[in-house]
Amino acid sequence: MKDSGKSPVKLHKVHVSRAEREYFTENLGLLLKSAVPVGSALDSLAATARTKPMRRVLAQMQVDIEAGSSLADAIERSRLVSSQTLALIHLGEESGHLVENLQLAAQQEEKHHVFQSKIRSALLYPGFVLTVTMLVALGVAWFLLPRLSQTFAQLQVKLPLITKIMIGIGLFLKEHGLIVVPLLLIIFGLIAYILFAAPKTKWIGRRILFAIPGVGRLLREVEVAQFGYLLGTLLEAGLPITYAVKLVAGASTAPQYQIFYRYLAVSLEDGYSIKDSLQRYKGSAKLLPASMQQMIIAGERSGSLSSVLLVVGRTYEQKADITTNNLETIMEPVLLVMVAGGVLLVAVSVLLPIYSLLGGLNS
């Protein structure tokens, strides 16, 4: 390694948004394709960077490259890209196809974002509706029901059980709401963090989502589409299949698929074929559909595995689109029934005593 007299400055871990990472990969490939030197390309990217952390990362890359590091090593040290993108960059530098591999990496990152967006879009709408419904119900119980209880008490109306329960909740919130409501929000926030964000426990949340009808199907289709597209892309770029499968395991967020991919990589390293590896894994048909397994086995025999995997990725991406649309269509009436049920519960609680009062007046 050459020494230009500059020692690389220690780079602290910085947060760079997904959009900036994709911008870096895509535009670096375009600049290098236009025969722009690496140093000038990094200068151009730094000049157009929108955030200070991104400019710091690019400046450190330039220092590393001037100190004699390769582009792949400088990018690896920056921790700016995923392990799959980094593997494509290393392979591209070694094989002389850096520009092509950068373009593949940009497409790969965009696909990964598309797959994640499908899941978020399917969960966002019901989450929003349920949140708004809970807030409205909380407001009614906190502010309206205690006033109704005073009115009913003054009129000496005999209250049915459902009204007593609802008014009891309202009176409890009136007395302790300023303490209880923030405490419940904190508890729900902690539960959500533990289930879906904490590195050591978020696998529990993924398991729960996979068990939900409709949502679990969408997650499986997205996972299969990502497996086909990502593995096909890595194999097409020239990576060994065992290394490519390990990278796919690192890209997955589903615990059961991560275990399966790691097993598959070890089995292939031990000399087993894909067919034998799939047959030896109990429950592989639940993770990869039988039709997909047959296509992969046929692709392995014919030597066109990467092309078959890309076809599988496109096929299941289309299936995920259909499932997303169907899920949103099914969720609308379900949510409507839930909201209507809540409104009906409050209405019955309020109207039953009023009807009882009117009946007493008539008699």
Structure tokens at 197: 């964000």
Reported as a pLDDT band with limits 50, 70 and 90, residue 5 is very low
Question: Is the pLDDT score of 360 beyond 60?
Answer: no
Report the pLDDT value the prediction gives residue 71, as an integer from 0 to 100: 84
The mean pLDDT of the chain is 82
Q: What is the mean pLDDT of residues 340-348?
A: 80
Report the pLDDT value the prediction gives residue 85, as an integer from 0 to 100: 83
Report the pLDDT value the prediction gives residue 6, as an integer from 0 to 100: 41
Question: Is the pLDDT score of 2 beyond 70?
Answer: no
> Which one, of 224, 230, 256, lies nearest residue 245 by Cα?
230
For residue range 263-299, list pLDDT tens digits in order: 999 999 999 999 999 999 988 888 998 888 999 999 9
For residue range 204-233, list pLDDT tens digits in order: 888 888 888 888 888 899 889 989 988 988
110-363: CATH superfamily? Type II secretion system (T2SS), domain F (1.20.81.30)
Q: CA separation (Å) from 156 to 152, 167, 185, 216, 218?
A: 6, 15, 36, 52, 54
State how far the Cα of 297 lies from the Cα of 269, in Å rounded to an integer: 17
Highest mean pLDDT among 133-147, 155-169, 309-323: 309-323
Structure tokens at 29: 């490939």
State how far the Cα of 218 lies from the Cα of 324, in Å rounded to an integer: 7
Structure tokens at 12: 């602290």
Is the whole model's pTM more than 0.75, yes or no?
no
Structural contact between residues 126 and 331, judged by C-beta atoms closer than 8 angstroms: yes
Question: Is the pLDDT score of 302 beyond 60?
Answer: yes
Q: What is the mean pLDDT of residues 59-78?
A: 86
State how far the Cα of 235 lies from the Cα of 227, in Å rounded to an integer: 12
For residue range 134-161, list pLDDT tens digits in order: 888 888 888 877 887 777 777 777 778 8
State how far the Cα of 219 lies from the Cα of 323, in Å rounded to an integer: 10
> Which one, of 152, 209, 148, 89, lies nearest residue 356 by Cα?
152
Report the pLDDT value the prediction gives residue 285, as an integer from 0 to 100: 87
CA neighbours within 13 Å on the CB side: how many for 8? 21
Note the helical H segments in the chain.
Answer: 18-33, 38-48, 52-66, 71-78, 83-95, 98-139, 145-155, 161-196, 202-211, 215-237, 241-251, 255-269, 274-280, 284-287, 290-302, 305-362
For residue range 179-189, list pLDDT tens digits in order: 988 898 899 88
Reported as a pLDDT band with limits 50, 70 and 90, residue 173 is confident
282 compared with 347, residue with greater pLDDT: 282
Structural contact between residues 226 and 251, judged by C-beta atoms closer than 8 angstroms: yes
* CA 295 remoteness from chain centre: 27
Question: Is the pLDDT score of 29 beyond 70?
Answer: yes
Q: What is the mean pLDDT of residues 320-337?
A: 81
Q: What does the longest C-alpha to C-alpha distance in the chain come to?
A: 102
DSSP string for residues in 305-321? HHHHHHHHHHHHHHHHH
Neighbours of 188 (CB within 10 A): 11
Report the pLDDT value the prediction gives residue 358, as an integer from 0 to 100: 67
Neighbours of 98 (CB within 10 A): 22
Residue 188, amino acid = F
C-alpha angle with apex 289: 287 to 293, nearest 5 degrees?
Answer: 105
